Structure formats: C-alpha cells, structure tokens
Amino acid sequence: MQEPFPATILYGGDYNPEQWPEDVWLEDMRLMKLANVNMASINIFSWASLEPAPEHYQFSQLDRIMDMLAENDIAANLATATASPPTWMSRLYPNMLPVTREGTRLSHGSRQHYCPNSVDFRREAAELVRRLAERYATHPALKLWHVNNEYGCHVSACYCDQCAAAFRKWLQARYDSLDSLNVAWGTDFWSQHYYAWEDVLPPRISPTHSNPGQVLDYQRFMSDSLLECYLTEARILREITPEIPITTNFMGAFKPVDYFAWAPHLDIISNDSYPANTVPAWETAITDDLMHSLKGGQPYLLMEQSPSQVNWMQQNPHKRPGRMRVLSYQNLAHGADGIMFFQWRQSQAGAEKFHSAVVTHEGNEHNRIFQQAAQLGAELKQLSADVVGSRTAAQVAILMDWQNWWAIEYPQRPSNRLHYWEQIKTYYAPLHGLNVAVDLLQPDSDLTNYRLVVAPLLYMLRPGVPKNLEKFVERGGILLTTYFSGIVDQNDRVALGGYPGELRKLLGIHVEEFDPWTENMTNQIVIEEGPLLGTYPCTLWGEVVHLEGARAIGVFANDYYAMGPALTVHQFGQGQAYYVATQGSNELLAGLMRLLCQQASVSPVLNVPNGIEVTQRVRADGRVVYFFLNHTDKPEVVALPAGKFTSLLNGKEVERQIEIDERDVAVLLAQ
C-alpha cells in the first residue's frame, strides 16, 4: 500500500466542480496553486450525475476533473459518491428509504436517504464503487479513497422491516439460542419472553420504556450495519486498488457509531470538526486526541473544517481572525498530518450556500478568508518534511467505551443528568490544563505503557475489563474511577452482591446505595489533610460507601451519609485505585489530576503560562517537535527546556525562551 502520508502535510478540501462551468475549474486550479493546495476531496455527492438513470453511467465529467487534478499535481481524495442516492432510486426501490422509530418513511430531497440494511442500496452502491475503482485504478491523481460521507450523521438508525430481519440475523450470531437472548435481555420482566425469532423486533415506538437489552443491542447492531455498508465498498476497493489507502470521515465523539470498532478497517482515520467559536481549547483538543488514539497513535487527517462560518447553527458568526489557523495547528499538535476544509468554492445554491468556503461568493483571492487559507497552506508546506509521520506520546489514558455510552444513557437511567461524554470531558479538561498528553482508549486496551488511567462512569464492565484494570494497578499503575461504575455486565444486567461489582476488590470499597441528586441538591467533600486539604462543593450524585481496605481521603459533609467516604484510595499490588463517589468541583478535579500525575510520575510536556497549550510529537529519528498554541488575547513568553531549537515557521534558531503573539502559534524542532 502507498504511504498514507508521504512527506507532505495534506492540504485542501472538498471540491465540487460539477456545480460549476468548466471555465471556473481553471480559475480553481490557479487559486489552489496560490493556496498551496495538494489534495482535493471530490465526487462526494456525485451519484446523481454519474448515474442519471439505472445502469446508465457517465464518467466523462469525472474523467476531466481527475485529469485536471493530475495535470496540476493535486491528489484526488476520490469519494465513492454513495452518500446521497439519485432520486430515481427511491422511486424504483421505495423500501430503500429509511424508517424512523415512529414508523415514518423518510423521503429523498436532502441526503443520506437510505436504509443501511437495504439490499437494493448496498447492491447499487457496490456497483457504482466497482465501476469507479476499475475506471480510476491506475489514474495518477488517485491517492486516497473517501468512502461515502459522515456515516450515520442524519440517519443513525432505521427501524424498517429489512432492518428487523437483519437484526434477527445479527442476534442469532450473537446469542446461541433464543433462550440466551431471553436471559440477556431479562425478558421475564413485563412478560416480554420471546418464543419465536420472528417476534423479535427493533425497539420501535411502544407504549412505554423499551427493553434496555433490546435497545442496547439495536445500537450495537446499527453501528455494525453502517460498518457493513462501509465494508461493502471497502472490500471492492481493496480488491481492485490494493495500493490505495481507504478512509471515511468520522465526526468526533459521535455517539451512534463505535469508531473503535470501525478503526481497524480504515487505513487512515479522518475527522470532520466544526466547533462553535465558544468551544474552549481543551474541548477541541479532546476530539483530536480521540482521533490519534483510534489507530494507536497513527497520524490522522482533519478531513473537514470550516474556513469561517457554518450554516447549520441558529446563528453562524465568523471564525474570528486567527481561530481557523490555531485550530488547524491544534490538530497538527495532537497528531494530524493533513488539514482540509469543507469546502473549496462556496456553492451558489443548495442547503449549504452560506457555509463558508476558501473561495467565497466573491470568487477571488482578495479577501480575508482566502488569504488566511493561503497563508496556512504556505506554512504547512514549509513544515511538512519536519512534521509528517511524527507521533504523540502519552502516559495518561482516559478510558472510553461506546457500548458503555449507549447503556448508561438508556432513557430510564437513574439520572437524566448523567452524560457519559460530558463526564469524560470533565476529567480531560484539567489534564489538558496541565499540558499532559492523553490518549483515549477502550477499557480492554493494553495499558502497559501508561502510568495513569482515568475511567469516568465505567458503568458497564465488559468481559476482561476488571482483570485488565487489576493488572494495570497491580504492576504500579494509578487508576481513578468514579461513581456509578461496575454496575452492569455487557448485557446491561446488574452485577449482584453489592456495587461496584467486579471492581469491588480493586477499589477496596462497597457501595451500599447510590443517590442521584436533583439540580437543587448539593453536598460538600471535606478533605482534612494532605495536598488536597479543603472543602469542595459537589453535585449530581452521592453514594453510601463502606471501606473494605481502601482509605477515605475525603468525606461527605452533609445529609444522612455525612462523614461517609466520598473520595477513596486503595493500595492494590504496586499501585493505587482511586474512587470518587460524587461529581467534585472543577477545583477539586484539577487538584486531584495534578496530584495523581505527580504520584504517577507523569510530567507536563512543559510548564507554560495559562492559556498556552503545548504538545510534542516525536519523529522516527527520535527528535522532538514542540507545538505552542497561544489561545489568549495577549502575547506570552514561554520558557524552553535546555538546548537549541529551530523555529520551523521562520527558520530562526531559538533557545531559553520564546514569545508567542496573541492567537499565534510556534513550532519548534529540538536540535
């Protein structure tokens, strides 16, 4: 296979020349050169033009686009065009259209109007993909396959009869018998027992709460169904063009699709990122860290970001000058080897005509948006040789589990204030503030190379996870987990005999009762000694905790469980396992993360002023590239480690310290 990222930071964006007359294409080539674009994502929504009638294909326009890109030394990130089927297809195959949980069949007229389990959709998509792959297999422009687009972004689940039949097959593969399914789902409750497979349905709308096991399995099944759509195309591409890497664009922490399960099937992870202007730096960084973590640190591609405003918020302010650049560098800083936009030229018509583009409706290079994109393009070209292929390195892992996410947010959970990704972010934010590198991993991942593992809300313990965590702590690791952990098994069945189930031995505690608080209920954690000495407000949740070998660091101040443990630590083998029985204040979590990093001998990349983000990427030759991002509105001076550095953006040699302007960045290579 070709190197996913040859020694070039990929730069460009979605390019839709089919929306424009061909004289505009020539102007696009001139402007792409000006902006140092080296890759264009094409053909993403071209199915209707490629196949205007059933089995009548026309590729002449795409031929000309591919040839033009090759002539201009611009790589094609060639999409398979299957994300929006032509309108004639839903007329010919009405069952191809997806059905909502309420039973409404959706229409064409926007995009993504297909049932993931539609045999007709998969067959038609496969045929198109085969023809594309055969036609362009040896085309010099083809460098990357872009399968479909943003799987599940509008239709993450379909409830039609085809899906019902496919769900039953999926369940038959998961459970060896209907009896096993009945046990897993707990169907003795509410007289839900199944005596025949044909009675098993998707969790369609019903009088009240659907069975939680059924709901959970349907989320697994739908993520797998979308994956099967991807694989249907990817298998054809691998067969015909085994040398060309394959990707599909993810959407950050997107709940309906288990990206950990998908990642092994992609050659390159790519991500679409559209943070609002109000999203703080740590909150964009966590998504970047998730992306590099999905394939064990392999560099990823930022497939889409907006040059300025988007079109789908209630109001869509510009990205202020400098923000696009800083966010682009933040992706590089966290492991990206490519920065791309949606889109190259702003559409004249259609639902996204007010979404910003590198070439605005003005149609020329004489404006802020184009010029900032051109500046970035020139900088990335300059950085390429020194950055491409280098990797981030973390000693801290936050555990994240999509299946846990689905289970914990079942609508009838103990508190509708529990939001899994929000909890993960709550613990990530202080680590980011400390400039500590973080990976996000599944709970059954190999934790050998980590010193500190944080596992918020580990409600579901899938097989092997308790042992994995015990092994990690036993050999000297520091683990922190929180309230409402260790509650259920992989089938969402409660672990009997006392919470936190299989984590009880590791944590050295027993939770007698958990207490989900209303918004006006609060408490305090009192810590009477040690580095966290103080009284901290806490919210959301309380628990009645008994010590079984652990030591209480902090206790609840109020309510009937006043003086009961709220923060505990348990020596287990060579390491320690911490437990937080409530939602501590940001101040407490910041202090706790600092303390745990110290105990685990995890150091910040560098000590820098507040508002400066610093990361490092390590090259294959062992040399370190430092990224400094000034997220503040004033210049900051940063002290450097001993030694000399090359400032890669201006070629100057620096040592001891560096000043970084407001909203500016610096990239230093250790000499």
Residues that bind Zn ion (CB under 5 A): 115, 117, 158, 160, 162-163
Cβ proximity to Zn ion: between 155 and 553 the closer is: 155
At closest approach, how far in Å is the CB of 99 from Zn ion? Answer: 6
Distance from C-alpha of 477 to C-alpha of 448, rounded to nearest angstrom: 9
Cβ proximity to Zn ion: between 124 and 492 the closer is: 124
At closest approach, how far in Å is the CB of 181 from Zn ion? Answer: 21
**645-651 contact pairs (CB < 8 A, 24+):** 645/669, 645/670, 645/671, 646/671, 648/382, 648/383, 648/386, 648/387, 649/379, 649/382, 649/383
CB count within 10 Å of CB 661 equals 12
DSSP per-residue codes, 544-574: EEEESS-EEEEEE-SSTTTTSEEEEEEEETT
Distance from C-alpha of 180 to C-alpha of 158, rounded to nearest angstrom: 25
Residue 419 tokens, joined:
């939001």
In sequence order, the 6+-apart residues with CB closer than 8 A to the CB of 157 are 101, 202, 218, 219, 222, 256
Which letter does DSSP use for residue 233 in this model?
H
Which letter does DSSP use for residue 476 in this model?
T
Distance from C-alpha of 259 to C-alpha of 294, rounded to nearest angstrom: 7
Distance from C-alpha of 559 to C-alpha of 520, rounded to nearest angstrom: 14
Residue 646 tokens, joined:
């090359």
Distance from C-alpha of 370 to C-alpha of 374, rounded to nearest angstrom: 6
At closest approach, how far in Å is the CB of 114 from Zn ion? Answer: 9
Cβ proximity to Zn ion: between 129 and 158 the closer is: 158
Pairing of strands 575-580, 541-547: unpaired
Specify whether the CB–CB gap between 104 and 158 falls below 8 A: no
Cβ proximity to Zn ion: between 118 and 273 the closer is: 118
At closest approach, how far in Å is the CB of 222 from Zn ion? Answer: 9
Distance from C-alpha of 472 to C-alpha of 479, rounded to nearest angstrom: 8
Cis check: omega of the bond before 309, within 30 degrees of 0: no
At closest approach, how far in Å is the CB of 251 from Zn ion? Answer: 21
Going by C-alpha positions, the residue among 338, 442, 358 that lies closest to residue 399 is 442
Distance from C-alpha of 577 to C-alpha of 666, rounded to nearest angstrom: 38
Cβ proximity to Zn ion: between 206 and 574 the closer is: 206
Cβ proximity to Zn ion: between 117 and 360 the closer is: 117
**Catalytic residue at 304?**
yes
H or E element in which residue 639 lies: strand 636-647
**Catalytic residue at 548?**
no
At closest approach, how far in Å is the CB of 624 from Zn ion? Answer: 50
Distance from C-alpha of 590 to C-alpha of 379, rounded to nearest angstrom: 35
Distance from C-alpha of 460 to C-alpha of 382, rounded to nearest angstrom: 47
DSSP per-residue codes, 481-507: EESS-S-B-TTS-B--SSBTGGGHHHH
Cβ proximity to Zn ion: between 118 and 271 the closer is: 118
Which position among 51, 124, 233, 304 bears the catalytic label? 304
Helices (H), 571-632: 586-599
Cβ proximity to Zn ion: between 162 and 491 the closer is: 162
Cβ proximity to Zn ion: between 13 and 152 the closer is: 152
In sequence order, the 6+-apart residues with CB closer than 8 A to the CB of 68 are 25, 29
Cβ proximity to Zn ion: between 116 and 565 the closer is: 116
Which position among 150, 365, 379, 613 bears the catalytic label? 150
Helix count and strand count (H, E) for the chain? 17, 27
At closest approach, how far in Å is the CB of 98 from Zn ion? Answer: 6
Cβ proximity to Zn ion: between 46 and 162 the closer is: 162
3-state secondary structure of 49: helix
H or E element in which residue 438 lies: strand 438-441
Cβ proximity to Zn ion: between 167 and 300 the closer is: 167
At closest approach, how far in Å is the CB of 228 from Zn ion? Answer: 12
Distance from C-alpha of 608 to C-alpha of 409, rounded to nearest angstrom: 38
Measured CA distances, 183 to 179, 187, 411 (Å): 6, 7, 21
Angle between helices 119-136 and 212-240 (to 10 degrees): 30
Specify whether the CB–CB gap between 568 and 507 falls below 8 A: yes
Which letter does DSSP use for residue 580 in this model?
E
Active-site positions read: 150, 304
